[in-house]
């Protein structure tokens, strides 16, 4: 009977330790996952902005695009939200700290590239959300 209690105690201890490890992993992985999700959302917004707004304004001028290809063009999150008529800015919030991203420092950099078609560009996402 005593051996059985010891075995049950060991199993219970293992279950509690596994639960604690899973909980800690959840806490540590939550920020990188949210940061990745926000980056993808902002990158998708940047693609829409480049293809529907920026390229519509500058696409015919390959000389301008060529000049911009080296240094890129910065577009902050506030501009993306405004230009794309984005209604829900609540998702741009760090869930851990409960603070919103900085809408000026969070931005994309657009790099037009040759042959300067509507899909010929790279995007770099810069996030300032307290991660």
pLDDT digits (tens, 9 = 90+) for 28-60: 656 678 889 999 999 999 999 999 999 998 887
Taking 90 as the threshold, does the pLDDT of residue 12 lie above it?
A: no
Q: Which of 1-10, 14-23, 46-55 has the lowest mean pLDDT?
A: 1-10
- Three-class SS string for the chain? CHHHHHHHHHHHHHHHHHHHHHHHHHHHHHHHHHHHHHHHHHHHHHHHHHHHHHHHHHCCCHHHHHHHHHHCEEEEHHHHHHHCCCCCCCCCEECCCCEECCCCCCEEEEEECCCCCCCCEEEEEECCCCC
The pTM of this model reads 0.75
pLDDT (tens digit per residue) in 48-94: 999 999 999 888 788 889 989 989 999 999 999 999 998 888 889 88
């Amino acid at each position: 009977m005593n051996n059985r209690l010891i075995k049950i105690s060991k199993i219970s201890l293992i279950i509690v330790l596994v639960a604690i490890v899973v909980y800690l992993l959840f806490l540590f992985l939550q920020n990188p996952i949210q940061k990745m999700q926000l980056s993808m959302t902002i990158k998708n917004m940047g693609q829409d902005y480049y293809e529907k707004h920026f390229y519509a304004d500058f696409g015919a001028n390959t000389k301008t695009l060529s000049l911009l290809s080296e240094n890129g063009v910065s577009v902050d999150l506030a501009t993306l939200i405004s230009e794309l008529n984005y209604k829900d800015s609540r998702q741009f919030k760090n869930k851990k700290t409960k603070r919103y991203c900085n809408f000026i420092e969070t931005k994309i950099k657009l790099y037009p590239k040759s042959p300067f078609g509507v899909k010929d560009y790279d995007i770099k996402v810069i996030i300032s959300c307290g991660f």
